[in-house]
Amino acid sequence: MAIQGSVTEQARRKLRLGMVGGGRGAFIGAVHRMAARLDDRFVLTAGALSADPANAAASAADLGIAPDRAYASWAGMAAQESRRPDGIDAVAIVTPNHLHYAPAKAFLDAGIHVICDKPMTLNLAESLDLVRIVRASNLVFVLTQNNTGYPMVRQARAMIRDGMLGAIRVIRVSYVQDWLATALETTGQKQADWRTDPARSGAGGSIGDIGVHAFNLAAFMSGLELEEVCADLRSYVPGRRLDDNANVLLRYKGGASGTLWSSQVAPGNNNRLSIGVYGETGALEWVGEDNDTLRYAPLGEPPRIIVRGGPGANGAAAHATRMPPGHPEGYIEGFANLYSNAADLIWAAKDGAPPNPLSADLPTVEDGARGLAFIEACVASSRNGGVWTRASLPG
């Protein structure tokens, strides 16, 4: 029975979710499914889970998707789900980069909300077209730059917005791993194979895979818009066609500067994302492998540690927190915050109501385009000998 009055539409049923990609052997699809389930806002209803029809059908059966909603292609799924009275409300696109744009466009054209993995498309031209399509619709488009879902990242963003660091002067951000320190792609390992293939990954290697996460984290936390980059991209593993290490100088609009290092050939680093934002009156530092804490250093005072859910945690952090202090939250929960925020936005769009501002504070289609502008600017800068290159969106 429908509940009226002050109880919102989200209390009536779970949103029906479809998925493109993420079948057997995929890594990120399982992460998205766990995240979508965590807050009980979505139910996986349909899928085109693989380009191989047999794998797509077997993967759908593994996940309990009904046979008539296990599709051999994303195009067929978009067309058929848009005609069903019980069709999906949203689709999650979790394919390699070259298969983001066409499915996203097809589902948007079919009137279905989109949740898309990063980077948003293969190139900037595709991203700008998605910006145009989303702006012309009443549809939600969420980019799963998952690090923006961590409570202490949102804590930092709110503190910077509130002026607690003064004017930002310097940003340093890095994302380093070691899993591609050898030619893993030559062994048939699926993740390494497509991530080092320009046809499927795009022009950037490490800069497009994890460097774009570092770029987005710096932009999200600081609120600053990147203006120019000076980049040195290298491929250290012989025969590798895309970069596996990038050193980038950053210039932001308004005068702030910074550095960004992305590497997948740094021994001793599993998945180390870290950032420092330094202003006139204070600094903030955060490390992804210790994501429940944030180091705040007011100028001239002893640094202090802010703990998720503890004293000093603000409303932005509380909105993204499930557990009390000492009960760790992490990677899946960060993803799940984006899915819950997406659910809030989808219901708001269905109801024609303004969304909760805290739920609306997440990566958008415009952020996806900015990520592609950053990647392409870094590649162009490096190819031209490290010259300063515009990294902002055109226009």
pLDDT single digits (tens) 204-255: 999 999 999 999 999 999 999 999 999 999 999 999 999 999 999 999 999 9
pLDDT single digits (tens) 75-117: 999 999 999 999 999 999 999 999 999 999 999 999 999 999 9
Helix (H), strand (E) at residue 176: strand 168-176
Higher-scoring residue by pLDDT: 222, 6: 222
Global model pTM greater than 0.85: yes
pLDDT at 265: 98
Q: Angle 318-30-242 (CA atoms, 0-180°, nearest 5)? A: 100
Q: How is residue 238 written in tokens?
A: 């012989």
First to last CA, the chain: 50
Concatenated DSSP letters for 56-125?
HHHHHHHTT--GGGB-S-HHHHHHHHHHSTT--SEEEE-S-GGGSHHHHHHHHHTT-EEEEPSSSSSSHH
Cα distance between residue 53 and residue 55, in whole Å: 5
The proportion of the chain whose per-residue pLDDT surpasses 90, expressed as a percent, equals 92
Q: CB-based contacts of 394: which residues, under 8 Å, 6+ apart? A: 128
Q: Looking at residues 49-75, what average pLDDT do you find?
A: 96
Residue 6: pLDDT band with limits 50, 70, 90: very low
Domains of the chain, CATH where assigned: 9-147 (3.40.50.720), 151-325+365-390 (3.30.360.10)
pLDDT at 2: 26
Residue with tokens 């022009």: 203
Q: CB-based contacts of 279: which residues, under 8 Å, 6+ apart? A: 160, 165, 166, 167, 168, 169
Cα distance between residue 11 and residue 311, in whole Å: 32
| Cβ-defined contacts of 10-13 (< 8 Å, 24+) | 10/41, 10/343, 10/344, 10/347
Closest to 339 in 3D by CA, of 357, 363, 315, 318: 363
Q: Looking at residues 322-334, what average pLDDT do you find?
A: 91
Q: How is residue 210 written in tokens?
A: 């994890």
pLDDT single digits (tens) 142-201: 999 999 999 999 999 999 999 999 999 999 999 999 999 999 999 999 999 999 999 999
